[in-house]
Chains A and B, each alone.
Chain A
């Protein structure tokens, strides 16, 4: 594969890489050759700070199935967090 499946979004928060914690600017999700996982293709997720050097990176390479389960877990956690935030806004 030599895909063009790449999604790039802003990311605000922190990530922990080789050199410790750093501020994030960007999250990149792609489906292509993994560097390390023994898979033909993988969903790769990189959290980076584009203003820092290439080492400012938190990386994972996971199977498509794992990515689907992660995506569903994110959706569930975000939906629950939205309920908490809505309650906070209402002052209840």
Chain B
């Protein structure tokens, strides 16, 4: 049996405008080279599911980092921190972009990186993944999982979220994988269609998969929205996409 091990730990990285933020990183033991994955956590916070997913990517041979977008709200239980952020009206898109650029830069500075970095996020993190892939040229692939509010009405725009991500589609800088549930209310199937139409219009490289019998968050095994068949197929697609774009 081959020896197997990983290192997983919290670190501090330079986030938006060089501000220190916390992050959780995991990678296989050994010198690599490993492809890198940045995980953008969801609105419920920088929580256990994101810790587990970071280690899941390490288990599959990636150097993974999940940075804490809610670092500035202070330390505490992830649900309390998420509630504090919600009470403050959320985090600004520009700050998320800066923090994520910091996570990519941290990975690119590691001697064991193979030179390629992908980004993946779920829920609000899916939206932010798409936004980041449109605003940065520093990554090689992006995976948007049920990103809500990529399509936004004028009424939904705020000073912290001043532009709907779909408006930036023409700037998408890398291949995109999107997974969605047909029973989701945010994004609705119609919004996913709009999202896809815009990608087609601009000739972008993308794969969208829509699942019947699934709504929002169907990977979350500890929530009622979990759908095992769709989740298992979705994970296969996630790893196949990153294998194609980050490992070769």
Binding site for B on A (CB under 8 A): 1-4, 6, 8, 26, 28, 30, 32-33, 35-36, 38-40, 44, 46, 48, 50, 53-55, 57, 59
In the complex, the answer to whether B86 meets A54 with C-beta atoms within 8 Å is no
| Chain B 121-154: CB-based contact to A (< 8 A → 1; otherwise 0) | 0011011000000000000000000111100000
Binding site for A on B (CB under 8 A): 43-44, 73-77, 79-84, 86-89, 123-124, 126-127, 146-149, 156, 184-187, 215-217, 223-225
Would A57 and B80 be within 8 Å (CB), given that A1-B148, A8-B87, A33-B43 are in contact? yes
Give the residues in chain B near A6, CB-CB below 8 Å.
86, 89
In the complex, the answer to whether B215 meets A40 with C-beta atoms within 8 Å is yes
In the complex, the answer to whether A54 meets B75 with C-beta atoms within 8 Å is yes
Interface of B is mostly: loop
Give the residues in chain B near A2, CB-CB below 8 Å.
43, 123-124, 126-127, 146-149, 186-187, 216
Give the residues in chain A near B123, CB-CB below 8 Å.
2, 33
For residue B81, give the distance in angstroms from its CB to the closest CB of chain A: 4
Would A35 and B44 be within 8 Å (CB), given that A2-B149, A59-B83 are in contact? yes
Give the residues in chain A near B89, CB-CB below 8 Å.
6, 8
Complex Cα spacing A2 to B161, Å: 14
For residue A71, give the distance in angstroms from its CB to the closest CB of chain B: 20
Interface of A is mostly: loop
In the complex, the answer to whether A33 meets B76 with C-beta atoms within 8 Å is no
For residue A1, give the distance in angstroms from its CB to the closest CB of chain B: 5
For residue B150, give the distance in angstroms from its CB to the closest CB of chain A: 10
Complex Cα spacing A40 to B218, Å: 10
9 A-B contact pairs sorted by A residue (CB < 8 Å): A2-B43, A2-B146, A3-B148, A33-B123, A33-B216, A33-B225, A35-B82, A53-B75, A59-B79
Per a CB cutoff under 8 Å, which of A1, A28, A33 touches B83? Answer: A28
Would A48 and B216 be within 8 Å (CB), given that A1-B185, A3-B148 are in contact? no
For residue A47, give the distance in angstroms from its CB to the closest CB of chain B: 10
- For B124, the closest partner residue in chain A by CB is A2
